[in-house]
Amino acid sequence: MKKDQSASFKQSTVLPWIELRVANQSRACYESHSHDEFSFGMIEQGQSDYQNRRNIHRIGRGDMVTINPGDVHSCNPEKGTWSYNMLFVDTAKMGEVQQDVLQQWGWDYVPFDHDLVYNPDTSLKFQSLFHALRDDASQLACHAALYDFVASCWGIIPLASKTAVSPCHDINRVREKILDEIDGAHQLNDLANEAGMSRYQLLRAFKNEYGLPPYAFLMDEKIKRAKRMLKAGQAISDVALQLGFSDQAHFQRQFKKKLAVTPKYYQSHFTPSPQKNPIGK
């Protein structure tokens, strides 16, 4: 039997209780089955008949499916191939995040209300989460993306729009910690403990006060410092190391995202090129 190469799987190295599945130009059909985890994902190409319990839907590109733990479901492409990205999240961990976001306790988890998501904001939040996990972004970035997705999925108004937090609160301590430890691998739990808040409260309050969530604030500060270091003539590899990037390639990707040019190109405009000796000298 020919081996199916259309599906690939990955256990997140950042949040190991999340599994990623990518189907690319797949012809696979699935019999009715269920998962112990929350599963949700987006169709990238093609069409399929999607049955969740007794409900049958025709889904296509851009549609996002949501499947609760234990829901019996099946998905079968209509004709030809289809492609999709899926995430499988441990039920207990998802419940912990939901409790943090909803600020309510006493239940294991909150199920999805519907089989499909029609909210464009939620779809964008899913894509951000999937890409962060796929690209092994920092734990801080992945956690923030997950919290944003959960808040959007269950229709939560961002905390920052409901409660103003004074900069004199311990939020400022978190900012100072990030600035003082620019090369550190900051954990959301540690930053939340520093502020005396829940993880979700910290994410919302920090963004409300400083315009960016902690992981984006940290990256923004790294790039600003990188520009100064590159102007001073420091080697690109040294800049990447001193600012805590995982490697030079990671630094270059993040730098280009912010400035649309590579560090080498940027630096070339501020440091003189070596002069070639004239022939014969």
User: Tokens 């954990």, residue?
Assistant: 187
pTM of the entire predicted model: 0.79
Side chain identity at 43, as an amino acid letter?
I
For residue 68, tell me if it sits in a domain: yes
Q: Which pLDDT value is given to residue 39?
A: 95
Tokens (6 digits) for 177: 């910690």
Burial of 228 (0-12, 13-18, 19+ CB in 10 A): exposed
Pairing of strands 38-45, 64-67: antiparallel
Whether 179 and 77 map to the same domain: the answer is: no
For residue 148, tell me if it sits in a domain: no
Whether 114 and 32 map to the same domain: the answer is: yes
Side chain identity at 165, as an amino acid letter?
V
Q: Which pLDDT value is given to residue 164?
A: 40
Helix axes 214-231, 199-210, angle to 10 degrees: 50
For residue 152, tell me if it sits in a domain: no
Whether 94 and 185 map to the same domain: the answer is: no
Q: Which pLDDT value is given to residue 278?
A: 47
For residue 139, tell me if it sits in a domain: no
CA atoms within 13 Å, Cβ hemisphere of 1: 3
Give CA–CA dist 130/142, Å, rounded. 9
Give CA–CA dist 42/59, Å, rounded. 10
Q: Where are the alpha helices (DSSP H) in the chain?
A: 91-102, 120-134, 139-153, 159-162, 171-180, 188-195, 199-210, 214-231, 236-242, 248-259, 263-268
For residue 109, tell me if it sits in a domain: yes
Q: Which pLDDT value is given to residue 273?
A: 59
Q: Which pLDDT value is given to residue 280?
A: 45
Question: CA 167, 168, 171, 173: dihedral to nearest 10 degrees?
Answer: 130
Mention every residue, 6+ apart, whose C-beta is less than 8 A from residue 260: none
Whether 114 and 11 map to the same domain: the answer is: yes
For residue 14, tell me if it sits in a domain: yes
Domain boundary among 188, 211, 234: 211
Whether 15 and 80 map to the same domain: the answer is: yes
User: Could you give the 3-state DSSP secondary structure of residue 100?
Assistant: helix
Q: Which pLDDT value is given to residue 103?
A: 81
Whether 24 and 112 map to the same domain: the answer is: yes
Q: Which pLDDT value is given to residue 156?
A: 65
For residue 124, tell me if it sits in a domain: no
Provide the b/e sequence for 88-120 (b: ≥16 CB within 10 Å): bbbbebbbebbbbbeeeeeeebbebeebebeee
Whether 106 and 26 map to the same domain: the answer is: yes
Provide the b/e sequence for 125-150 (b: ≥16 CB within 10 Å): bbebbbebbeeebbbbbbbbbbbbbb
Q: Which pLDDT value is given to residue 4?
A: 52
Whether 90 and 187 map to the same domain: the answer is: no
Kindly list the averaged pLDDT for each block of 10 residues, start to end, along the chain of length 281: 68 94 82 89 90 89 93 83 92 93 84 91 95 93 94 67 47 91 91 91 90 90 93 94 92 90 90 53 41
Number of domains in the chain: 3
For residue 87, tell me if it sits in a domain: yes
Domain carrying residue 188: 157-211
Q: What is the CATH number of the domain that holds 28?
A: 2.60.120.10
Q: Which pLDDT value is given to residue 41?
A: 95
Q: What is the CATH number of the domain that holds 246?
A: 1.10.10.60
